Structure 1
Amino acid sequence: MSEVSFDPKLEVTTSIVPLDWLVFACIIGLTIGAVVLGEYRKRKALHNADEQARLLDILLMGRRLTLPMFIATLVATWYGGIFGVTEIAFNYGIYNFVTQGVFWYAAYIIFALFIVHRVAPYKAVTLPDLVSRMFGPKSGRLSAVFNLFNVLPIAYVISVGLLLQILFGGPLWLMMSIGVAFVLLYSMWGGLRAVVFSDLVQFFVMCFAVLLVVILSATQFGGLSFLRERLPDTHFSITGGQSWGTLLVWGIVALSTLVNPNFYQRCFAANSTRTARRGILLSTVVWFFFDICTTLGGMYAFAVIPEAESGHAYLVYAVQLLPDGWRGFMLAGVTATILSTLDSYLFLAGTTVSYDLVPKRLRGRVRLHHLGMIVSGIAAVALGVAFEGNIMAVWKTLGSYMAACLLLPMMIGYFWPGRISDYQFVFASLLGAAGTTIWRVSEHTGFWANVDSLYAGALCTGIGLIVFSRLKPSPVSS
């Protein structure tokens, strides 16, 4: 085992040499090249196309997303909060793998096996469009409002801001703004095709980067015996020293995948139901290995530099571990992980505004889509400042609302079509949102202090569905 001599307070930029910047620039250049290629392919595909075909291509790649591209874009889209997961691993060990991995794998498999084939016949364009077809127009409009808040990329704006702040200094709000501005430029240019093509490059870079950190860590310091020797026992506990109630909350938050717009968008864009189902299952395999790497990377960081600031520890550790050149590759991998999620969420936010929230006569206009992305980017920066850069708080807050308000009605709609009316959906979801909010702002003591707002919101949604259960269901569009 090598002597441990890493600096927990190292300034990252002091370790970066010109070769690192060159490698970093080359990979960013490849990403930009992929965007240009996506724009070229878009123009070629849309030559002499009518307006409807153009809209479908911009939003869903004309429903021609193949299996390899499906896997690459879905995997890349899901991990923009890398500083969040490595911080959890740094502080709590394998608790990260359980809460940010295992619970989510169960949700992915449920989606692939039981949801994909049920949404395909609706031929929807967005998640709110699907809700509208399943329950009615009022439900669709309300779900669009929930969806807009859910796709505001607050956690990923914070992540890109933290990365730029580490590399270049400056206030967090300014670094977040610069990162958002860069992503907006290429996302607005080429539509979903540009996002998918850039995700393809970012997929390979991000996966290899986190794997490289684990391999070199094990080579330099040793394997599990090294971690066992230097980490507290709680790092190897499922609960990570947290309560079982907190652990269960993450399990329910993971079920918000079943109402996550990114999953639906990729499935709507797939060239077949079979592609979507196989793509999700194969992506789950990739996520499994990726989560192992990020969890081990965070644990090695704690074992070597436990005094480091937890939010930056993984990056501070990695730049001291890797040799010249590879350091730049790893930085590019972290950047790719963040940008690949940030661009997808901004694109979805623009889609929600331009397709789901505007009157039908204005639906799908490119300028409105761009405006929606810009406004969403500004809102995400403002909320990132409001959350004070706390990525975990963002995930739990937004995930709780989506799971509490939309999950139960959507699942009933899938398995028992026609049981829920338009007004019933609206009332129950609003009641769930009110319950979640009231519980979050209220003070609780004793047993109730351990009851998360998600439970209160889900209970209110269920009560709302029961209260309106005798209403006649509204006609459901197929």
Structure 2
Amino acid sequence: MQNKINLLESLSTLDLFIFFSILGITIASVIYGQYRMNKTNEKETFLDLLIMGRRLTLPLFIATLVATWYGGIFGVTEIAFNQGIYNFVTQGVFWYVAYIIFALFLIHKIEPYRAVTLPDLVGKMFGPKSAKITAIFNFFNVIPIAYAISLGIFIQLLFGGSLFANTAIGVSFVVLYSMWGGLRSVVYSDLIQFFVMCAAVLLVLVFSIFEFGGISFLKANLPESYWSLTGKNSLATTFVWGFIALSTLVDPNFYQRCFSAVNGKVSKKGILISTAIWFCFDICTTFGAMYAKAVIPNTESSQAYLTYAVQILPHGLKGFLLAGIIATILSTLDSYLFIAGTNLAYDLAPKKLRGRVWIHHFGVIFVGVLTVIMSVYFQGNIKSVWKTLGSFSASCLLLPVMFGHLFPKKISDNQFVTACIAGVITTATWRHIPKTGFYQNIDELYMGIVATSLTLISYHLIRDKKLVG
């Protein structure tokens, strides 16, 4: 196999036909979503735009949740290519724990609030100031930089050119259809993308096993560290990803899908089934990237999985694979753009403009432009995007929200805001100050969590002392 290929030249007419056919079906599903939305009553339009009028059934819930979570396929396969099983632990196992916690312990707590967005839920739990600061955190958390970079890499592999230009072109396309048809269009397109993406990564693994053999081949051709749960990293570095995974408990996409479901039972069952599907998907991508490392070890790591997969599959399936990869990216990118638009139109807009559809469309466009600009700042490094934005979300917002679930009405609106601000200031400060010796190994996420925790504990102790006094 070659370490570098001309992707477009490696495709046959059949591959291109299959690829564009699946892309066409996806666009048709968006148009169908718009058609269905236009049939709704005018009074329900904005609620229908944001959460499908709370009519999301189990099959659609599973498809949209699974599809939304894997837009950074080039990021996870790069980690697996460089570090092996470590990817499955940090990008898989930690997240399964978070999903199960959400399903078993949070669904029944959030359902009675009948909220529309996560900031709306926080506002009902704590107060209006908490809702605003949550909306600000969420806005930065849902800027889909990693997924825009993934789309840019994909287009660059096909047609060449600069990563920035390809990212801008790809995001522009997604912005246009993310505004059209509301959540229903996103969900219907996710349904198509769900089947294609799952089948595509499974095909790569199956053909790899038939071509090269199973685990014994990988063990013979990969370093020992590829089978270590922590790779070449310390436990502290590994567990940073565990806390980032817990940020799922304050991820607006997760909450929006649950708010859109018919009822809490659908949400709970859907998350548990989705977790089983994610487990299988992660097995396929992790081992697929490890096969790439064993077969073409000197290829560019960010492009290794695709370079390998295109060469292992026969014509026809190559086009299907490309459709699966772009489906994986688009299904996440469109969801995050849509959520970001919702964040601006519903959570951050002034009261007199709140709920206007045109504000939502403006929000999607604004976030699209901001996403492309920030992709330049991160220089195409998907792992860095996840680490940076995930650290702020996990260290600043996670603990106050969980505290509210565990101890309802124990902290006030102002106390929630103070805890969040303490976390973000500490995280940002620790990230940028020079550190030497022992302190170099302390991640900013841990410092943010300490600051947020101490603030919450202090308020809790002061409150108890006042009650005793």
Q: With structure 2 as the length reference, what TM-score do the two structures score?
A: 0.98
> Structure 2 CA distance, aligned partners of 1:174 and 1:472?
55
Matching residue within 2, 15, 28 for 1:20 = 15
- Counterpart among 158, 166, 176 of residue 157 in structure 2: 166
Cα distance between partner residues in 2 of 1:291 and 1:469 = 40
Tell me the distance in 1 between the aligned counterparts of 2:360 and 2:34. 17
Distance 1:424 1:223, change over 3 A: same
1:388 aligns to what?
379
| 2:338 aligned to which of 347, 357, 378 | 347
Q: Report the Cα offset of residue 57 of structure 1.
A: 0.4
Pick the aligned partner of 1:325 from 312, 316, 320: 316
Could you tell me how far apart the structure 2 residues matched to 1:359 and 1:365 are? Answer: 11
In structure 1, the gaps of 5 or more residues are 1-5, 474-478
Q: Which amino acid aligns with 2:53?
A: G
Q: Which amino acid aligns with 1:265?
A: Q
- Counterpart CA distance in 2 for 1:471 and 1:137 is 23
Task: Note the 1:250-399 alignment, pairs <5 A.
Answer: 250-399=241-390
The one of 1, 4, 8 equivalent to 2:3 is: 8
AA matched with 2:445: L
Is the CA contact 1:421–1:472 (under 8 Å) kept in the aligned structure 2? Answer: no
| In structure 2, distance between residues paired with 1:50 and 1:42 | 10
Q: 1:94 & 1:317 partners in 2: Cα distance?
A: 18
Task: Report the CA distance between 1:91 and its aligned residue.
Answer: 0.4
Q: SS of the counterpart of 1:65?
A: coil
Maintained 8 Å contact 1:209/1:329: yes
Residue 14 of structure 1 and its aligned partner are, at CA, apart by 2.2
CA contact (8 A) 1:206 1:336 kept: yes
The residue identity in structure 2 corresponding to 1:293 is C
What are the equivalent positions in structure 2 for 1:393-408 lying under 5 Å apart? 393-408=384-399
Tell me the distance in 1 between the aligned counterparts of 2:461 and 2:208.
61
Deviations 1:393-431 (A, max 9, x none): 000111110110111111110111001100001111001
Counterpart secondary structure, 2:119: helix
CA contact (8 A) 1:424 1:471 kept: no
- Map of 1:186-265 to 2, 5 A cutoff? 186-265=177-256
> % of aligned pairs identical?
60
**Aligned mates of 1:233, 1:470 — CA distance in 2:** 49
2:207–2:312 CA contact under 8 A, matched in 1: yes
Would the aligned equivalents of 2:196 and 2:323 in 1 still touch at CA under 8 Å? yes
CA distance in structure 1 between the partners assigned to 2:458 and 2:232 by the alignment = 40
Alignment of 1:172-191 (within 5 A): 172-191=163-182
State yes or no: 1:41 paired with 2:36. Answer: yes
Moved more, 236-245 or 73-82: 236-245
Contact 2:395/2:423 (8 A) holds in 1: yes
1:42-78 per-residue CA deviation (whole Å, 9 max, x = no partner) reads: 122x1xx243x11110000000000000000000000
Supply the AA of the counterpart residue of 2:156.
Q
Shift of 1:467: 3.7
**Equivalent residue, structure 1, for 2:96:** 105
Tell me the CA shift for residue 468 of structure 1: 3.5
Letter in 1 for 2:391: S
Matches within 5 A, 1:48-67: 49-51=41-43, 53-67=44-58
Alpha carbons 2:80, 2:290 under 8 Å: kept: yes
Match of 2:78 among 79, 87, 91: 87
Partner of 2:467: none
Q: Which whole-Å deviations, capped at 9, do the CAs of 1:134-172 have from their partners, x for residues lacking one? A: 010001001100000000000000000010011111111
Instruction: For residue 181 of structure 2, give the secondary structure of its aligned residue in structure 1.
Output: helix
**Residue 406 (structure 2) pairs with residue 415 (structure 1):** yes
1:116 aligns with one of 107, 122, 147: 107
Please tell me whether the aligned partners of residues 355 and 364 of structure 1 are also in contact (alpha carbons under 8 angstroms): yes
**TM-superposed deviation, 1:471:** 7.4
Are the equivalent residues in 2 in contact too, given 1:424–1:469 (CA < 8 A)? Answer: no
Distance in 1 separating the partners of 2:463 and 2:31: 51
Q: Residue 306 of structure 2 aligns to which amino acid in structure 1?
A: L
**Cα shift at 1:470:** 6.5
CA–CA separation in structure 2 for the residues paired with 1:125 and 1:138:
17
Give, in angstroms, the shift of residue 449 of structure 1. Answer: 1.1
SS in 2 for 1:12: coil
Contact 2:37 2:45 in 1 (8 A): no
Contact 1:77 1:199 in 2 (8 A): yes
- Contact between 1:406 and 1:429, CA under 8 Å: does it hold in 2? yes
- In the alignment, the residues of structure 2 paired with residue 307 and residue 11 of structure 1 have an alpha-carbon distance, to the nearest angstrom, of 16
Shift of 1:81: 0.1
Q: Is the 8 A contact 2:126 2:413 kept in 1?
A: yes
Secondary structure of 2:8 counterpart: helix
Determine the structure 2 residue equivalent to 1:32: 27
CA contact (8 A) 2:99 2:271 kept: yes
Report how far residue 296 of structure 1 moved.
0.6
Alignment partners' CA distance in 2, 1:444 and 1:169: 40
- Whether contact under 8 Å (1:421, 1:471) holds in the other structure is no
Specify the alignment match of 2:87 in structure 1.
96
Runs of at least 5 residues in structure 2 that lack an aligned partner in the other structure:
465-469
